[in-house]
Amino acid sequence: MSRTLSAPVTVAFDYTRSTGPVLGRFLTGLRDQRVVGGRTSEGRVVVPPPEFDPVTHQQLDDFVEVADTGTVTSWTWVPEPVAGQPLDRPFAFALVTLDGADAPIVHALDVASPDQVRTGMRVRVRWAAERVGAITDIACFEPAEDAPTGSATELGDLGDNPVTGVITPVELDYQYAASPEESAFYRAIAEGRIIGQRCPACGKVYVPPRSACPADGTPTTDEVELSQTGTVTTFCIVNVPFLGQRITPPYVSAYVLLDGADIAFLHLILDIPAEEVRMGMRVKAVWKPREEWGTTIENISHFSPTGDPDADYDTYKHHL
């Protein structure tokens, strides 16, 4: 058995990006199979156009259309593409200086092997069949040895439906690892027990246990089994729905201070109308049916009022 528990976590969100006028012009061009570059104060044509001039720092306002053909100025081979890369087969990432531009753009070059790439080779944009105003409108570059050398031209009208935003999905997949102390806690939870650890220096009992006392940094080693009853120190009633929420509002999110512990933890209070929950209310753990248990605090479905008189304020006020 591994010393620690771990579980996969995916954090994913479709972020939106306002492009601003400069990059918006570049993306609008791509949608129409046109590559827009910006001319800097030093007369260099750069693709994509920088938002602000590197010398004068003013917002760029001089735009040209460059060719969709160009020359590879450097490259690297990608033998094993990963999810989200432009091509799902081995390809080259290439720096391509488009005809009419003075600085390269980086993109994928679709060739079968590194033998088919060389610095100086001529290439052409392969446009995506469906274009939405994003860098992916350029599907990739492809070899075009015979392509004539193009040049920069005046940028004509880009129409009256400019691109102003793009969607940028971000997804992080990782393995969450609980500490050895937390793992022991969750394994005890899987047996219906709640354990904490006492700091040998300050004597405080932490639940869930930490690897070290947050107050003095001392490794916590002394295991303590805790009561399954405790006191609500403070709480809020969550009435607001939000993206990713796992419990349907309204619900009471409460700090529960177990008897024998020196720190409260957050859990759910049920079996009582939300408006009747009180600071100082005595509660007990209510467990899910044993067959539903895993190594998670969610084995405790919620905390429920014990019916005992409320705890005296003085007994928990130093936990607020």
Partner 1 sequence: MAKQPAAIVGVGQTHHRAKREDVSMAGLCREAIDRALEDANLSLEDIDAIVVGKAPDLFEGVMMPELFLAESLGAAGKPLLRVHTAGSVGGSTAIVASSLVQAGVHKRVLTVAYEKQSESNAMWALSVPVPFNMPVHAGAGGYFAPHVRSYIRRSGAPTHVGAIVAAKDRQNALRNPYAHLRNPDTTVESVLASQVLWDPIRYDETCPSSDGACAMVIVDEDTAAASPNPAWIHGTVMRSEATTAAERDQVNPQAGRDAAAYLWKQAGITDPLKEIDAAEIYVPFSWFEPMWLENLGFTAEGEGWKLTESGGTAMDGALPVNCSGGVLSSNPIGASGMLRFGEAALQVRGAAGEHQVDGARRALGHAYGGGSQFFAMWVVGADRPTN
Query: Which 166-225 positions form the footprint of partner 1 (CB under 8 A)?
Result: 168, 170, 176, 178, 182, 186, 202, 204-206, 210, 213-215
Q: Does 11 bind partner 1 (CB under 8 A)?
A: yes
Taken in order 35, 60, 53, 45, the sign of the CA dihedral is positive
User: Residue 88 region, left (φ>0) first, then alpha (ψ -120 to 50), else beta?
Assistant: alpha
> Which residue in 51, 62, 102, 310 binds partner 1 (CB under 8 A)?
51
Query: What are the C-alpha distances in Å from 137 to residues 11, 19, 29, 85?
Result: 26, 16, 10, 14
Contact between 36 and partner 1 per CB under 8 A: no
Q: Which is nearer to partner 1, 50 or 114 (CB)?
A: 50
Q: Which is nearer to partner 1, 150 or 180 (CB)?
A: 180
**Is residue 52 part of the contact set for partner 1 (CB under 8 A)?**
yes
Taking alpha carbons only, the member of 305, 265, 307 closest to residue 284 is: 305
Residue 236 interacting with partner 1 (CB under 8 A): yes
Q: Does 235 bind partner 1 (CB under 8 A)?
A: yes
Of 285-304, binders to partner 1 (CB under 8 A) are 295-298, 300
Give the nearest distance from C-beta 217 to partner 1 in angstroms. 9
Q: Pick out residues in 13-32 that bind partner 1 (CB under 8 A).
A: 13, 15-23
- Under a CB-based contact definition with an 8 Å cutoff, are residues 302 and 288 in contact? no
H or E stretch at 72: strand 69-78
- Examine residue 79 and tell whether it contacts partner 1 (CB under 8 A): no
> Binding to partner 1 by residue 93, rule CB under 8 A?
no
274 is an interface residue for partner 1 by CB under 8 A: yes
138 in contact with partner 1 (CB under 8 A): no
- Type of residue at 92: A
b/e burial code for range 55-81 (CB count within 10 A of at least 16 → b):
eeeeebeebbbbbbbbbbeebeebeee
SS in 3 state form for 51-67? CECCCCCCECCCEEEEC
* Using rule CB under 8 A, residue 314 touches partner 1: no
